[in-house]
Amino acid sequence: MQGSKLYQSQELAIKYFTVAIILFGAQLLFGLVAAIQFLYPNFLFNTLDFSIARMLHINALVVWLLYAMIGAVYWLLPDEAGIEVVGIKLANIAFYILTAAVAIVVLVYLFVQIGPGKESTIWFITEGREYIEAPRWADIGIVAVVLVFLYNVYATVMKGRHTGILVVLMADLIALAGLYLAGMFYTDNIAVDQYWWWWVVHLWVEATWEVYVAAVGGYILIKTLNANRKVVEMWLWIEVAMMFGSGILGLGHHYFWIGTPEYWWEIGALFSALEPVPLVGLFVHVLYDWGKERGKGNEIKNTPAFAWLTVETFGNFLGAGVWGFMHTLPQINLYTHGTQWPAAHGHLAFFGAYVAIMISAMYLAVQGKAGLERLRMTKAGWWAISLISVGVLLMTVSLTVAAYTQTMVERGMHGATWEGYFIAQANRWFVQGMGWRLAAGLAVIVGYGFLVYDLLTCAKKQPVEEGEKEVAAAAA
Amino acid sequence: MEEKVSVWTSNRFWRRSATWVTGVASVLLIFLTFDSMAQMKMGSAKDIEKKIDRRIPSPVVINYTIDYKLDPYRGHEIPIIGGEMRRPEGGIKSAYEKKEKFFGRDDYSEKEARELIHKGKLTIQAKNCMDCHTLLGNGAYYAPDLTKAWLDPTWETLAPAYNGKEYAIAAFLQDPPKMAMHERKMPNLGITKEEAKAVVAYLKFMSAIDTNGFPRNFGKIKGAVDARK
């Protein structure tokens, strides 16, 4: 890629990133509403009830991450394969169809909200299953669009270069897309319902998405540090082995209490306890490469992208690894399942594992679009990364305090009844936790403002390099 | 052509390892899923006649009393449907004998019961229950867990005024703000009388699912269900 000449696929990637960052804002907004309702339950009562705000909060999250993930693939695909993406026109049409479908779903969520207890509601309003509430018609639309995307990826790689990163992505994306089908059916048996629902949720976020992150992370390392491709790809294969080796059967840690056989206790405990291992590996790998390249005198070519990648590896290890391990063993999970524990874990894990790397990929696109040899961190970029990272960490710690309280009071002392639930919710440690969560959430929203501003302006605000000064002087 | 390198730094070795590990893990998962699906199949009225325990029992359990008691043999609480009996290998199990009226009847046929819980499940999804409550512990954390909601002591205290707890729960569901129990009220979701009955049936059915002892010590306070006798 020379100068600011972009592949059409990369232009499309920027469209995906743009929708992603807008939906990221929506996610934060509805999260804010839900966080306020925990403290002031009458806030927007009967207008935008908690269930709707919370559904929009998590759906916006999933959808914007998927947008950014597709965007990042369209960004790196022509660069890795060395050719324009095959079927780029179709890819553009698919983008507009998907975006129109998402807009309709969001409008229905906001203004229709719920329906009568009939099949038609499942088809046209909401499926009412956490994270995958999207009505059935939208499911089918999503599958169609994803098929176009898979065709683009496969046809392009077949025709162009087959790098290790692309091979991993090809295998991973087909698994990722196929798993969505596991969530597209209805059953009266809630245990079987949740069994397959976890195939989508867990095998996305704790298996296929993690492998996706490892592959895209490898690409970002090559781009920002000029890391050795052979070493990056070797690590990538090791990561795949460890992530799928632990993550696939780690699914068992969701099968402790939903009407499933007892053997999932042992299987879930063992494999999910191993899940943090590859995340440590990812973190060590990034820092090791950084040190090695610095030793050779090589500079980071995109400081914000690299900084967000570092936040990614550390946040992934801390949020998904440490916070996940804290309550993954059945002996502990018996008391923490269904409390604020998973909320605490979920916030840092989604941020650390996925949000940070997607922002990193966006900075790569900013650099590519402007055709800059180097992209440095601006003041706004620094505020964005600091406020968002510290904010999410503080939210997590606050939720953890609330979670401890809930577990001890509701589960430990009061035997998980409704009365026990509300006694725990009114406990001052719990309420304080919720208060700090709201405050930290506001910091994240301010950070988001800086982030959007920085993504739009940082390419123009780069300090002039020494070398360029001389060139300019010579030209004058 | 690949240059000669140690196996530990050979991409080919790691690529093969990744493929094998993923393949073996996937095959194991599929195998275990077949077994789990067989064990999680919804039971039938015949199982209940023969006193065969199913993890997910037939919906006709709505005709029976349901309790949640510590089984010393399994080491955790289990649902006790229609009274308890001794298990041959030790501990206790459901006797499937003691019936109780549910909306005035205790003779729902398998077909009727299935239709009822079908409507109940659809309503639970259509009203987005899972985005405030947890069911089997999964969902949102803004409102109480519903796994054993049918057995919650709250309803025992309200039952006499409504002529039975099923009527109390149904009344609550049709106009929650009127019977609000906490500042954090449940909104009125336009649940009809039929939908409310179906949801209550689902809650009763769900409380009979064998959840391997979750939630632990349920109702230990204020002499609710005698979890720790």
Q: Tell me, yes or no, whether A343 lies in a domain.
A: yes
> Which residue type occupies A254?
H
Residues A423 and A315 grouped into a single domain: no
Size of interface A-B (CB pairs under 8 A): 260
Q: Which residues between 3 and 42 in chain B have a beta carbon less than 8 angstroms from any beta carbon of chain A?
A: 9-11, 14-15, 17-18, 21-22, 25-26, 28-29, 32-33, 35-37, 39-42
Predicted confidence (pLDDT) at residue B222 exceeds the cutoff of 80: no
Q: Do A256 and B209 lie within an 8 Å CB cutoff?
A: no
Contact A238 B140 (CB under 8 A): no
Give how far Cα A273 sits from Cα of A238, B120, B155, Å.
18, 37, 39
**Domain edge (last residue) among A136, A161, A186:** A161
Mark whether A154 and A175 lie in a shared domain.
Answer: no
Please spell the DSSP secondary structure of A322-348, one letter per residue: IHHHHTTSHHHHHHHTTSHHHHHHHHH
**A167 and A147, same structural domain?**
no
Rg, chain B, Cα only? 23
Domain around A449: 378-457
pLDDT single digits (tens) B80-122: 999 999 998 899 999 999 999 999 999 999 999 999 999 999 9
Please report the pLDDT score of residue B221 as a whole number: 55
With CA atoms as reference, report the closest residue to A66 among A74, A54, A76: A74
Same domain, A326 and A397: no
In B, residues 171-190, which contact A (CB 8 Å cutoff)? 181-185, 187-190
Distance of CA A184 to the CA centre of its chain: 22
Spatial separation of the C-alpha atoms in residues A225 and A33, rounded to whole Å: 40
From start to end of B37-153, where are the E strands?
Answer: 66-71, 76-81, 84-86, 92-94, 134-135, 138-139
**How far is the alpha carbon of B3 from chain A, nearest alpha carbon, in Å?**
12
Looking up residue A269, the CATH number of its domain turns out to be 1.20.210.10
A417 inside domain? yes
pLDDT of residue B225: 43
| Closest CB to A130 among B33, B131, B188 | B131
Contact indicator for B138, A336 with CB cutoff of 8 Å: no
- Give phi and psi for B138, each to the nearest 5: -110, 140
SS3 A461: helix
Residues A403 and A333 occupy one common structural domain: no
Q: Could you give the C-alpha distances from A452 to A4, A315, A332, A359, in angstroms and in order?
A: 21, 21, 40, 10
A117, A191, A340: residue with CB nearest B119: A117
Chain A residues with CB under 8 Å of B53 CB are none
User: How much of chain B, in percent, has pLDDT values that exceed 70?
Assistant: 94
Cβ distance of B140 and A54 shorter than 8 Å: yes
B125 vs A124: CA distance, rounded Å: 12
Q: How far is B95 from chain A (nearest CA, A)?
A: 20
Tell me the shortest Cα–Cα distance from A379 to chain B, in angstroms: 38
Candidates A2, A162, A144; CA nearest to A77 is: A162
pLDDT at B156 over 80: yes
A123 to chain B, any CB pair closer than 8 A? The answer is no
Closest in A241, A248, A417 to B153, CB measured: A417
Which chain A residues are Cβ-neighbours of B35 within 8 angstroms?
261
A339 contacts in chain B (CB < 8 Å): 141
Q: Are residues A204 and A346 in the same domain?
A: yes
SS3 A120: helix
- What length is written for chain B? 229
A372 belongs to a structural domain: no
Q: Which of residues 349-408 of A touch B (CB under 8 A)?
A: none
| pLDDT at B128 exceeding the cut of 50 | yes
Q: Is residue A108 within 8 angstroms of chain B, CB to CB?
A: no
Helix H, strand E, coil C: the string for A381-423 is: HHHHHHHHHHHHHHHHHHHHHHHHHHHHHHHHHCCCCHHHHHH
Is residue A204 located within the same domain as residue A150? no
User: Do residues A83 and A5 share a domain?
Assistant: yes
Q: Which residues contact B41 (CB under 8 A, 6 or more apart)?
A: A189, B54, B56
On whether both A448 and A318 belong to a single domain, the answer is no
Interface with B, mutate which of A110, A169, A258 (most B CBs under 10 A):
A258
What's the mean per-residue pLDDT of chain B?
93
Would you state the pLDDT for residue A334?
Answer: 96
Query: Which of A308, A323, A358 corresponds to the end of one domain?
Result: A358
Same domain, A100 and A150: yes
Least CA distance to B10: which residue of chain A? A234
Q: Write down which residue in A161, A196, A220 finishes a domain.
A: A161
B131 close to A (CB below 8 A): yes
CA–CA min distance B45, chain A (Å): 15
pLDDT at residue B32 in the model: 98
When divided into structural domains, chain A yields a total of 3
Q: How far is CA A399 from CA A54, A244, A323, B110, in A?
A: 16, 29, 11, 44
pTM score of the predicted model:
0.95
Whether residue A465 is contained in a domain is answered as: no
DSSP per-residue string spanning A40-71: -TTTTTTTS-HHHHHHHHHHHHHHHHHHHHHH
- Output DSSP code: residue A117: S
Residues of B in contact with A414 (CB under 8 A): 220-221
Same domain, A67 and A92: yes
- Provide the pLDDT for residue B173: 97
Q: What is the pLDDT of residue B226?
A: 44
Would A300 be classed as within a structural domain? yes
Measured in angstroms, the CA of A185 and the nearest CA of chain B are apart by: 12
Q: Is residue A366 part of a domain?
A: no
Q: Are B46 and B203 in contact (CB under 8 A)?
A: no
Tens-digit pLDDT string for chain A (476 aa): 444 589 999 999 999 999 999 999 999 999 999 999 999 999 999 999 999 999 999 999 999 999 999 999 999 999 999 999 999 999 999 999 999 999 999 999 999 999 999 999 999 999 999 999 999 999 999 999 999 999 999 999 999 999 999 999 999 999 999 999 999 999 999 999 999 999 999 999 999 999 999 999 999 999 999 888 998 999 999 999 999 999 999 999 999 999 999 999 999 999 999 999 998 888 888 888 888 888 888 889 999 999 999 999 999 999 999 999 999 999 999 999 999 999 999 999 999 999 999 999 999 999 999 999 999 999 999 999 999 999 999 999 999 999 999 999 999 888 899 999 999 999 999 999 999 999 999 999 999 999 999 999 999 998 766 555 565 566 55
Residue A468 in any domain: the answer is: no
Q: For residues A81 and A169, state if they share a domain.
A: no
- A417 to chain B, closest Cα gap in Å: 6
Asked if A39 is an interface residue toward chain B (Cβ–Cβ < 8 A), one would say: no
Q: For residues A316 and A205, what is the distance between their CA atoms, to the nearest angstrom? A: 11
A469 lies in some domain: no
Which has the closest alpha carbon to A118: B52, B138, B121?
A: B121
Q: Does B91 touch chain A (CB under 8 A)?
A: no
Residues in Cβ contact with A4 at an 8 Å cutoff, skipping those fewer than 6 apart: A368, A369, A370, A371
Contact A45 B216 (CB under 8 A): no
User: A87-94: which pairs have CB atoms within 8 A and are 24 or more residues apart?
Assistant: A87/A148, A87/A151, A87/A152, A87/A155, A88/A8, A88/A9, A88/A12, A88/A152, A90/A148, A90/A151, A90/A152, A91/A9, A91/A12, A91/A148, A91/A149, A91/A152, A92/A12, A93/A148, A94/A144, A94/A145, A94/A148, A94/A149
pLDDT of residue B52: 96
B145 touching A (Cβ < 8 Å): yes
